[in-house]
Amino acid sequence: MELRSVEELMDVLHACRGAWDAPDRSGDPVDLHDHALQTAALLRRSHPSDKELQVAGLVHDIGHLLRPGDDAGHADHAADAVRPLLGDRVSRLVRLHVAAKRYLATTPPGRGLSSRSALTLTVQGGAMAPWEAAAFERDPLADDAVTLRQADDAGKVVGLDAGVMEDWRTVLELVAARYSRLGAVD
């Protein structure tokens, strides 16, 4: 599925209410809707001028909704879905959030993963080998992907009010319009 309008994306994001990262609800303690809002809000607070990073936080897990049960491929499904609308950087950050998880699993304590993330790590490839970690570190988006991943792990608080999805429509429209203008120039 490729998302071609902010309206289509908003429909998917609203459909995340009551949808979970694991079909049997054994995963995160919040639904995909609340997780998206919390992750994006954390990124807005820590990186207020980086709208693309914030939007990547909002959409990073929609692959769980698009292909339920495919934990290993959820980042790729989400990245492919948002790329035509939100552009390469948002798509790459979404795709890299699992690689960032694998990377963080190789780093010293203090940059660890949530308990749920640790459980799904194996199906997503496990901790990176040293050569994989070195390659990841060379990626120009590695630091931003790690920032997204850390917000991803922190954005799982039951009962936390992180606003409403409609608050993100304008930001999504801005990012989509910027990508549309840049794509027309290429």
pLDDT at 185: 45
Q: What is the pTM of this model?
A: 0.91
Confidence of residue 39 (pLDDT cuts 50, 70, 90): very high
Contacts 24+ apart (CB under 8 A), 163-171: 163/37, 163/41, 164/37, 165/10, 165/13, 165/14, 165/33, 165/36, 165/37, 166/10, 168/13, 168/37, 168/40, 168/55, 168/58, 169/6, 169/10, 171/51, 171/54, 171/55
pLDDT at 137: 96
**Nearest-angstrom CA–CA distance, 37 and 14:** 11
Whether 154 shows a pLDDT value over 60: the answer reads yes
Rounded to an integer, the average pLDDT of 42-62 is 98
